[in-house]
Amino acid sequence: MNKKYKAPCNLCGGKCCEYIAIEIDKPKNKKDYDVIRWYLSHKNVNVFIDHDNKWYVEFRTPCEFQKPNKKCGIYANRPDICRRHGVSHGDCEYYDLPYRMIFRNTKEFEDHLDQKTIDWRFKYND
């Protein structure tokens, strides 16, 4: 990304104010795969891998302070994480989505594991 660009926040519709993403460990075993299946069983929850191969759980939920015109309602008092987000920090979604790969539901994730011939199924008696 060319850092001379200024973030066009007035054009973008506040993409970075409409979700939170929490880094998680890369899944390594059946128990981990099952936790991700549980995340993805919920509405508006995604799991993605970013361009640095880090894994995140993402909650698609807008910030309560985002105004109808998509501007920040507490701009002067916004959290530091909001201040450190944007073009100058190399993470503005207007120019580059963070996703290298994204799973939006359990089926997408299970298909991905099946394609990689990863055994993720537990065997239950019931």
Residues that bind ligand SF4 (CB under 6 A): 7-9, 12, 14-17, 63, 65-66, 72, 74, 78-79, 82, 85-86, 92-94
The CB-of-120 to ligand SF4 minimum distance in angstroms stands at: 34
Choice between 73 and 114, CB closer to ligand SF4: 73
Choice between 15 and 121, CB closer to ligand SF4: 15
Token reading at 12: 């973008």
Choice between 94 and 109, CB closer to ligand SF4: 94
Helix, strand, coil fractions of the chain, as percent rounded to 5: 30, 20, 50
Q: Which residue's structure tokens are 């993470």? A: 91
The CB-of-84 to ligand SF4 minimum distance in angstroms stands at: 11
**DSSP letters spanning 41-95:** TSTTEEEEEETTS-EEEEE----TTB-TTSSBTTGGG--HHHHT-SGGGT--TTT
The CB-of-67 to ligand SF4 minimum distance in angstroms stands at: 8
